[in-house]
């Protein structure tokens, strides 16, 4: 018996999603001011300066960083939630 799984439908009404490097690499090294900015609204698009810094921390060419539309995905937001819970033991 076999089955066919439909591929996800590509939405053409928005830009293709950009995948950031693994969050476990850059989140612990991200400066506090940028980290607080991201924490203000985890659903909001990241500013260019944040994306460029992520590229720098992961030793990627910051000039290749996308300029718009970069958002944290569900797994990245879950990582940050877990990280906040782990650090907030005071």
* pLDDT, tens digit (0-9, with 9 covering 90-100), for 5-60: 555 444 444 444 568 999 999 999 999 999 999 999 999 999 999 999 999 999 99
Q: What is the pLDDT of residue 42?
A: 95
For the chain, the three-class secondary structure string (H helix, E strand, C coil) is CCCCCCCCCCCCCCCCCCCCCCHHHHHHHCCHHHHHHHHHCCCCCCCHHHHHHHHHHCCCCHHHCCCCCCCCCHHHHHHHHHHHHHHCCC
Place of tokens 């939630």: 81
Q: What is the pLDDT of residue 22?
A: 94
Q: What is the pLDDT of residue 55?
A: 95
Q: What is the pLDDT of residue 69?
A: 87
Distance (Å, whole) CA 24 – CA 76: 9
Confidence of residue 83 (pLDDT cuts 50, 70, 90): confident
């Amino acid at each position: 018996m076999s089955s066919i799984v439909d591929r996800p439908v590509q939405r053409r009404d928005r830009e293709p999603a950009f995948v950031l490097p693994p969050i476990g690499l850059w989140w612990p090294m991200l400066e506090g001011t940028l980290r607080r900015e991201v924490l203000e609204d985890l659903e909001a698009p990241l500013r260019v300066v944040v994306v460029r810094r992520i590229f720098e921390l992961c030793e990627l060419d910051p000039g290749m960083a996308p300029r718009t539309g970069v958002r944290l995905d569900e797994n990245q937001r879950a990582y940050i939630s877990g990280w906040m819970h782990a650090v907030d033991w005071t």
